[in-house]
Amino acid sequence: MSFLTVLFAYLFYAATAILVGGLFFKIRTYARTPAPLKIPTTPAPITKTGVVLRMTREVTLFESLFKSNKWIWLFGYLFHVSLLLVTLRHLRYFTEPVWFPVEMIQPFGMYAGFAMVAGLGGLWARRFLVDRVRYISTPSDHLILALLVAIGLSGLGMSFVAHTDIVAVKAFILGLMVFDLHPLPADPVLLVHLSLVALLMFIFPISKLLHAPGIFFSPTRNQVDDPRDRRHIAPWAAKLEAGAQGKSE
Amino acid sequence: MAAPKFEVPSLTGFIEVPKIKENASAHVKSFPASAEIQERIGFPGPLVEDWHDKAIAKMGDLLGKYRSLQVFMDACVHCGACTDKCHYFLGTADPKNMPVARQELMRSVYRRHFTFAGKYFPSLVGAKDLTEDILQEWYSYYYQCSECRRCSVYCPYGIDTAEVTMAGREILDTVGIGQKYTNEIMGKLHRIGNNLGLPGPALEDTLQGLEEDIFDATGVPVKMPLDAEGADILLITPSADFFSEPHVESLIGYAKVFHAAGVKWTLSTTASEAGNFGLFIGSYDNIRKAAMRIRDAALELGVKRVVVGECGHAWRVAYSFWNTLTGVGHGGNDPFARQLQQQLDPNYPAPQHICEFTYALIQEGKLKFDKSLNDHRVVTFHDSCNVARGSRMGDMPGGQFIIPREVIKAVVNNFQDMAEETIGEATFCCGGGGGILTDDLMEIRVKGALPRMEAFNNVVKENKVNFLALICAICKAQFTKVVPYYGFDMSMVGGVHQLVSTAILLDVPEGSEQETETEESEA
């Protein structure tokens, strides 16, 4: 087996371990940290079903962002929906036979690559053109955009300009999943694409990409507005009541 | 009004998003608390020697206690959605008053000390070591936030800068940097029972005087009972209602409503304050200690209901936190909560807002009004920020917008809302909330009021509005002081129950020689 194949195999094992382990650690931290007070941004749903609907609207429609700024919403939504399609399309490299829904979206997924890069371009342009957004942008904000754009362009490059041997790529990936290494084509565009994806997986749990799991734990969005009808108390706050059964001092 | 030492923004008819002006309000700092003031509420002062380690340790402590802070520190992507949403940014153009930048003051230190990226690649992710200069910058900008939550409405992840501001202030307090205004008042509340430091006998005198005033004006013996055991309702209201103008007009309004409803109610000397400045500094211990006075009074007086007067953040604390902090509420199944909750009447919400109370009576047809007594007024309503975005009234989401307006419409003929993007959940803070209502912050108060003043000015010009109706003691104090800077008369500012008070018709008891005269003297 070539050095290159082994290198990329280990790269992806490491990236997957970091991504899964890092997200697990972060999500566990969020889940274990109590929310001692009721702080939903009101008006808020007064039932759990209502909260599920609010959260669903938030993650599928970006409801709050839509209220806030139509340009950011447009570019952000375009990017995220395209990314979703592109990712689903890539499932064909991980499944044999390819799942039917994944088969169905292939044509859309192909062009979603352009929409994704366009969305990223819009978001990036704001970092230069809007003085307020320019002020708050850090080098890492630009680098993450650059990374995503480079992933998108290298992928599009393989679809539309310099095709790679996708049959071999698929054999490599399917093999990777069962620890049975198959040769990876030594195609420069492919290697760039894969390296950048691995980098994205590495930085996911240590960067602002944590907004993805974070939103589900955001107390202003996931709490039910029922504080008068239900007593909500965190374990550390309940301890303050020990020995304070009657009047306070 | 003395000539201001700063440029008062001029009203243009539009809420414009300014170009950023770095450090435009960096010089605005409120007076710091003395060591004595700090100690009274359990904090050291002045700056402690090991401030760096203590501050970082406190940040770690808060990150472990508050999921909000932990998630908000990680989730921001710098998208810019919040950048034009803060009234202090719109009024000052200082970019550090953009919510995301205010959060970054803390986030940069969080990254440096608590994240992998910030420990090893600080300049890449904008991570900074905590320095004394940074603490001073925190002190400036965390006291230029009114914790109004407007940014949290628009953030795609619901990041609430108020939570970050509270954490920032608590860390500052922990290392000995406190704000005189908030912390001094907090101490007074703990020692005396209200923010004004008004002792029991003074309160009794004031209430007696008010009873006499009402009797002189109406011929009706409306009472303002104090510490009346066996009363059904305990009224908790901001102490400003006892003698500030125009607040006291609303207190008279509540008393008239209670009188007309024929209920037994009382005020309490030991719990004579709805305001809870512990919220402003994010101090759970202080919020809880202040709120326990209400629990104690409710248990002692044996009341069945707790009603809260017109006050914004106080209503947030009461509605959202009292059940957690003190058991004033329903649905608790632990001994601490049950002790109080089995005493409270389950047929009524606990606590209940005075607007909910009055609205229910209006719906039942138990109050009589002559709306024409308010015909000299064209009224608009300012949604108080903490009521709008941190609480509710009634049994449906958004009731906090509907119920006060329905009460107003029941007592006045002329009502006109301000522009839709400035009311409801999008309402702008008055500019004085959350610990900003002090003269040493007048510049930020006047500039922060700009968006509200633009919207108000438009209805004054187009609809001849001459009364800004409020349900918050801070809004009332802030606008009374600030509207003159924008060319309005302070008498345009008042309370919702002031309007109720003007229009309500009370039965004059037989044998009273007073003439029926329902309208109380105007402020």
Whether residue B105 is found in the same domain as residue B223: no
Residues of B in contact with A215 (CB under 8 A): 75, 156-158
Show which of residues 276-335 on chain B sit within 8 Å of chain A, judged by CB atoms: 284, 288-289, 292-293, 295-296, 299-300, 319-321, 323-324, 327, 329-335
Of the pLDDT bands very low, low, confident and very high (cuts 50, 70, 90), residue A243 is low
Which residue in B has a C-alpha nearest to residue A202's C-alpha? B117
- How is chain A split into domains, by residue range? 1-41+139-164+180-225
Contact B103, B161 (CB under 8 A): yes
* SS3 label, residue B297: helix
pLDDT at position B511 is 64
**What span, in angstroms and rounded, lies between the C-alpha atoms of A186 and B1?**
78
Contact B296, B270 (CB under 8 A): yes
Whether residue B296 is found in the same domain as residue B435: yes
Which residues have C-beta within 8 Å of that of residue A55, sequence separation ≥ 6?
Answer: A215, A216, A221, A222
- Cross-chain residue pair B339–A38, CB shorter than 8 Å: no
Contact B310, B496 (CB under 8 A): yes
A248 pLDDT above the threshold of 50: no
- Record the tokens describing residue B50, joined without a space: 């090991």
pLDDT tens-digit map of A84-141: 999 999 999 999 899 999 999 998 888 999 999 999 999 999 999 999 999 999 999 9
* SS3 label, residue B290: helix
Q: Is the pTM of this model over 0.90?
A: yes
Ramachandran category for residue B13: left, alpha or beta (phi over 0 → left; psi -120 to 50 → alpha)? left
A53 pLDDT above the threshold of 90: yes
Contact B67, A32 (CB under 8 A): no
Domain boundary pick from B146, B178, B210? B178
Whether residue B81 is found in the same domain as residue B144: yes
**What span, in angstroms and rounded, lies between the C-alpha atoms of B371 and B66?**
48
* SS3 label, residue A165: coil
Which residues have C-beta within 8 Å of that of residue A218, sequence separation ≥ 6?
Answer: B68, B71, B72, B75, B157, B158, B159
Residue B121 lies in a domain: yes
Identify which of A45, A72, A219 has the shortest CB distance to residue B397: A45
**What span, in angstroms and rounded, lies between the C-alpha atoms of B224 and B246?**
18
Which residues have C-beta within 8 Å of that of residue A78, sequence separation ≥ 6?
Answer: A115, A116, A118, A119, A122
Residue B16 lies in a domain: no
Whether residue B163 is found in the same domain as residue B144: yes
pLDDT at position B278 is 96
pLDDT tens-digit map of A141-171: 999 999 999 999 999 999 999 899 999 999 9
Whether residue B229 is found in the same domain as residue B206: yes
Nearest CA distance, B326 vs chain A (angstrom): 9
* SS3 label, residue B50: coil
Residues of B in contact with A210 (CB under 8 A): 74-75
- The full 3-state SS of B489-503, as one line of letters, equals CHHHEEEHHHHHHHH
* SS3 label, residue B470: strand
Of the pLDDT bands very low, low, confident and very high (cuts 50, 70, 90), residue A245 is very low
- For residue B353, the cross-strand partners are B308
Our count of domains for chain B comes to: 2
Whether residue B397 is found in the same domain as residue B449: yes
**What span, in angstroms and rounded, lies between the C-alpha atoms of A168 and A179?**
16
Whether residue B252 is found in the same domain as residue B346: yes
Which residue in B has a C-alpha nearest to residue A235's C-alpha? B65
Domain extent at residue B273: 187-503
Of residues A189, A203, A72, the one with CA closest to residue A143: A203
A249 pLDDT above the threshold of 90: no
* SS3 label, residue B516: coil
Q: With an 8 Å Cβ cutoff, is B158 touching chain A?
A: yes
Of residues B306, B315, B293, B330, the one with CA closest to residue B232: B306
Average pLDDT, chain A: 94
* Percent over 70 (pLDDT), chain A: 97
Domain boundary pick from B178, B211, B239? B178
- Cross-chain residue pair A217–B71, CB shorter than 8 Å: yes
Nearest CA distance, B148 vs chain A (angstrom): 11
CATH number of the domain enclosing B125: 1.10.1060
Q: Which residues of chain B have pLDDT under 70?
A: 1-4, 511-523
pLDDT at position B516 is 45
Whether residue B410 is found in the same domain as residue B437: yes
- Record the tokens describing residue A91, joined without a space: 């499932």
**What span, in angstroms and rounded, lies between the C-alpha atoms of B376 and B405?**
18
Residue B15 lies in a domain: no
Whether residue B103 is found in the same domain as residue B193: no
Whether residue B301 is found in the same domain as residue B165: no
Contact B480, B245 (CB under 8 A): yes
Whether residue B345 is found in the same domain as residue B463: yes
Instruction: For B231, list phi and psi in degrees, rounded to 5.
Output: -70, 155
Instruction: For B265, list phi and psi in degrees, rounded to 5.
Output: -135, 165
Residue B411 lies in a domain: yes
Contact B134, B105 (CB under 8 A): yes
> Can you tell me which residue has the tokens 């309005």?
B488
What interface predicted TM-score (ipTM) does this complex get? 0.94
Residue B62 lies in a domain: yes
Whether residue B351 is found in the same domain as residue B492: yes
Nearest CA distance, A91 vs chain B (angstrom): 27
- Record the tokens describing residue A147, joined without a space: 């990374």
DSSP one-letter code for B352: E
pLDDT at position B4 is 66
DSSP one-letter code for B11: P
